[in-house]
Amino acid sequence: MANKLDLDRTKIDLSRKMAGKIADRLHAWIGDYTTTTTERAAARLLGIDGIDAAGVPLANVMVEKLQQAGLLERGLVPWLSRAVVAGGETPREIAQALADGKLQVQDVPDCPEEKWRATADGLAEKAAAQISAVRAERESRIAKAAPPSKPMLYVIVATGNVYEDAVQAKAAALQGADIVAVIRHTGQSLLDYVPYGPTSEGFGGTYATQENFRIVRAALDEAGEETGRYIRLVNYASGLCMPEISAMGAMERLDMMLNDAMYGILFRDINMRRTFVDQHFSRMINAFAGIIINTGEDNYLTTTDAFDKGYTVLASQFINEQLALRSGLKEEQIGLGHAFEINPAMEDGLLMEIAQAQLCRELFPKSPLKYMPPTKHVTGNIFKTYLINGMYNLVAVMTGQEIQLLGMLTEAIHTPFISDRYLSIDNAGYIFNNARHLGDELIYAPGGKVQTRAAYLLNEACNMLQEIEKIGLETAMERGMFADIKRTREGGKGGSGVVKKDSGYYNPFPGLFGAHALAAEGRLS
Amino acid sequence: MTVDLGKVKTYGDTLNDGAMQVSFTLPVPAGDEAREAARQIALKMGLESPAVTEMADLGAGFTFFVLYGKCTHSVDFASIKIPKQQQKIMNFKEVNSLIKSELGRKVVVVAACTGSDAHTVGIDAIINMKGYRGEYGLERYPEIEAYNLGSQVPNAELLARAVELGADAILVSQVVTQKNIHLENLTELVELAEAEGLRDRVLLICGGPRISHELAIELGYDAGFGPGTLPNHVASFIAVELVRRNRP
């Protein structure tokens, strides 16, 4: 990547180093805790799907019973594994027996550690092999398909009804979308369980359930086969069930997950400790499954001014990158987020957008950057919005963005109609093709507005990271340094689901997913 | 050129030409039959001489149309009456000084996105210190004590907090409107407030991109604010209305 912005290399290195120290400070304690959803994710990976008679997921039933029995400090796997050794049943059967009251937690006899550990590792290896097979299938399908041109076209569907979503997702793919996200039901992030089965009633979106994943996956595979392409499917590993959703996505061949280290704390008021522990395991699963994550820095610009606080996006990208690397994700899997949200009434606002987008490109050269469309300053004037979206698409193609969430001309009016999506794809297709190599032809005036803005942003981000490195990320969030939102260290939802690990704690997956070995290859600082 | 206000028609470039442009999708495959179907839809809508200027295949059996026609309908503009907030809009200083001089105490405002709605953009623009488009939010008003309860607040909890804080006004924001969920939420709040005997003690105000003052009144609110509302518009209404109610 050419250094078109004439950036100060020492500032980049210092920023990355500071972000690394900030991440290390969190990792000094993240490993001391587990959470209810982390343990439920382990259960799901081991095949514990399904619900009890009252509709409670079996993974929740088991974790709750272990927590009541005071055993969760050691993790779900040791107990489950001992139950397998004792009865020879599968994890799914044991969970069912527990839910039906045919088995009690205390009924499971102790057994020598080597024995239950060997059983646990065997079960986990089997689960990992299944995920590897899913990953291999994705890779084989991608190898056979026509490669997508970049930026890839990303659209959302949000009907609330998974069967309707499948129709709309397929239509979007046939129109040319490369990536389809099914927006979640608006309250799902705060549910401390994952709903079960196909769902047809959701507001603002559709519940993320394993069956819903399967239904939309099949529809997109059909569209991909018809067009000789591979259509990527996206969902949200966020909220109170981050690692469980990652586990479901790993099994059902989702290709991308919204998966931010701080979003839940800031925008959903989820407990800090819970989120930092959850994001780690969630991202380990994504790393192993070959899923690309998208981070949520674009959201900062909806609560704060995009021009004034553009540097907070960069600071957060550096932190998200370092945390992601520490969970085993490779740079190519870290789709750092940002957005085109500067007030369109601003003189030279477009130049400021170009500076920010080009800066992200040069700071994170291997990241499949996720670019988000204008939402804050668009109104019901669909004609103007369509034009602004064109400007956004132009900036994306000239600065080498990769994952382009297409702006809808009816943003601020309704969830997209089928024609809104068509028009957005048409808009992007026209501009991306018509200006394909514009970026290669452009250089920026030395010391001009674009370079000056980029240098300012990098400098401010570097200062912010140095300050956070001194006070710690938790304190920074208590002070409202991101998105102007203040969160207390002990407050927020889901804090009661954080459990301090006992010395006998065991979860075979982190070791198996090889987070540390992978991370060492990355750009850890 | 004189417009007959009793019979107003849509306008393209000549008075009473009725010109209008619409776009829509039909769940049928693109083709001559689809084009004719679009034309017939337009005729049924009262559009004469409909012309399909664009027909696009959306795939999966859907077709998108852009169509021009001449609308045969007219409306009686002269007889239209819309309930409006009568108060004049005051600025930050005027609102604060009115509260100080006429009420002599701080006004308590409690705000939230209710139900499952997680979209706080609207309520944040009105309440948060920073405000919106250069207008300070209610938190910044020295004479207003504003509490932003955030998103996904159940109606019952909102009312309980309003009682606890001695609220003069409750602001509810509803952004998600899919399947009219916002109407259900808004109606439920009025019903709960009435059931608890709070309705007359507090100003109920709602806002959101699909909310109008007229709709709000119909739902049993004291006021409604739509797109483009600034914090001082809401503050003006609250201050003037409380002063009015405070008069013997």
Of A230-244, A470-484, B234-248, the one with minimum mean pLDDT is B234-248
Would you state the pLDDT for residue A524?
52
Task: Evaluate if residue A519 carries a pLDDT over 80.
Answer: no
C-alpha torsion sign, points B155, B160, B161, B167: positive
Residues A148 and B233: their CA atoms lie apart, in Å, by 49
pLDDT at A525 > cutoff 60: no
Q: Model-level pTM?
A: 0.85
Q: What is the percentage of chain A residues whose pLDDT exceeds 90?
A: 88
Please give, rounded to a whole number of angstroms, the shortest distance from the CA of B118 to a CA of chain A.
Answer: 6
Q: A484, B116: Cβ pair inside 8 Å?
A: no
* Tokens linked to A240: 């109170």
Contact check, Cβ <8 Å, B60/A185: no
Instruction: Kindly state whether B130 is in contact with chain A, defined as any CB-CB distance less than 8 angstroms.
Output: yes
What's the confidence (pLDDT) of residue B128? Answer: 82
Taking residues A212-231, what's their average pLDDT? 97
User: Which of B25, B56, B150 lies closest to A269 in CB terms?
Assistant: B150
Determine the average pLDDT of the residues in B40-55: 98
* Separation between Cα atoms, residue A515 and residue A507, nearest integer Å: 13
Contact B118 A413 (CB under 8 A): no
| Element (DSSP H or E) covering residue A154 | strand A152-157
β-bridge partners, A156: A181
How far apart CA A366 and CA A7 sit, in angstroms, is 17
User: What span, in angstroms and rounded, lies between the C-alpha atoms of A220 and A137?
Assistant: 14
Q: Is-same-fold flag (B19-77; B92-246)? A: no
ipTM of the complex: 0.82
Please indicate whether, in this complex, the C-beta atoms of B59 and A303 are within 8 angstroms of each other. Answer: no
The answer to whether A379 contacts chain B (CB < 8 Å) is: yes
Q: pLDDT for B173-223, tens place per residue?
A: 987 666 677 888 899 999 999 988 888 899 999 999 888 888 899 999 999
B227–A302 C-beta distance less than 8 A: no
Closest approach of A423 to chain B, Cα-based (Å): 10
Q: Is the pLDDT of residue A453 over 80?
A: yes
Give CA–CA dist B94/B82, Å, rounded.
Answer: 27
Residue A261, φ and ψ in degrees, nearest 5: -75, -20
Cβ contact (<8 Å) for B24 and A414? no
Q: Which residues of B are catalytic?
A: 130
In the predicted structure, residue A516 carries a pLDDT above the cut 60: no
- How close A411 gets to chain B, by Cα (Å)? 11
Domain B19-77, what fold? Defensin A-like (3.30.30)
Nearest to B60 among A174, A187, A268 (CB): A174
State which residue of chain B sits closest to A174, comparing Cα positions.
Answer: B59
Q: How many angstroms separate the CA atoms of A348 and A144, rounded?
A: 44
The amino acid that residue A150 corresponds to is K
The answer to whether the Cβ–Cβ distance between A415 and B58 falls below 8 Å is no
Tens-digit pLDDT profile for residues A261-317: 999 999 888 999 999 999 999 999 999 999 999 999 999 998 788 999 999 999 999
Task: Scan for tokens 């409670």, then name that residue.
Answer: A56
pLDDT band, very low/low/confident/very high, at A445 (cuts 50, 70, 90) = very high
Q: What is the mean pLDDT of residues A396-422?
A: 93
Spacing of C-alpha A344 from chain mean position: 29
Q: Cβ distance B217 to B228 under 8 Å?
A: no
Digit-coded pLDDT (tens) for A54-87: 999 999 999 999 999 999 999 999 999 999 999 9
* Mean pLDDT, rounded, for A216-222: 98
Chain A and chain B share a number of CB contacts under 8 A equal to 72
| A279-291 confidence digits (pLDDT tens) | 999 999 999 999 9
Name, in order, each residue with C-beta under 8 angstroms of B226's C-beta and a sequence gap of 6 or more. B207, B208, B209, B210, B211, B212, B213
β-pair partners for A294: A258, A335
With contacts defined as CB-CB under 8 Å, which chain B residues touch A302? 121
pLDDT of residue B172: 93
Give the C-alpha separation, B187 to B168, whole Å: 19
User: Who has greater pLDDT, A28 or B244?
Assistant: A28
Strand runs labelled E in A289-354: 292-294, 334-335, 337-339
Min distance A190 CA to chain B CA atoms (Å) = 9
Q: How many whole angstroms separate alpha carbon A148 and alpha carbon A154?
A: 11
pLDDT in tens, A301-358: 987 889 999 999 999 999 999 999 999 999 999 999 999 999 999 999 999 999 999 9
DSSP string, A172-212: HHHHT-SEEEEPPPTTGGG-SS---S-----SSS----HHH
Domain boundaries, chain B: 19-77, 92-246
| pLDDT per position as a tens digit, A16-69 | 999 999 999 999 999 999 999 999 999 999 999 999 999 999 999 999 999 999
Computed from CA positions of residues A38, A43, A47, A53, in that sequence, does the dihedral angle turn out positive or negative?
Answer: negative
B23 touches chain A (CB under 8 A): yes
pLDDT for residue A201: 87
What CATH number has the domain spanning B92-246?
A: 3.40.50.280
Task: Report pLDDT digits (tens) over B6-24.
Answer: 999 999 999 999 999 999 9
pLDDT at B87: 67
In sequence order, which residues have a C-beta less than 8 Å from that of residue B41 and are 6 or more positions away? B24, B26
Residues of A with active-site annotation = 263, 298, 370
For the record, the structure tokens of A73 come out as 């400090």
Task: With a cut of 70, say whether residue A223 has pLDDT above it.
Answer: yes
Per the CB < 8 A criterion, the answer to whether A479 and A286 are in contact is no
pLDDT digits (tens, 9 = 90+) for B71-90: 999 999 999 987 776 667 89
Cβ distance of A189 and B118 shorter than 8 Å: yes
B178 interfaces chain A, CB cutoff of 8 Å: yes
Question: For residue B73, what are the contacts with CB-CB under 8 A and spacing of at least 6?
Answer: B9, B18, B46
- Where is average pLDDT lowest: A1-15, A83-97, B69-83, B170-184? B170-184
Nearest to A229 by CA among A155, A142, A134, A135: A142
Nearest to B152 among A170, A190, A302 (CB): A190
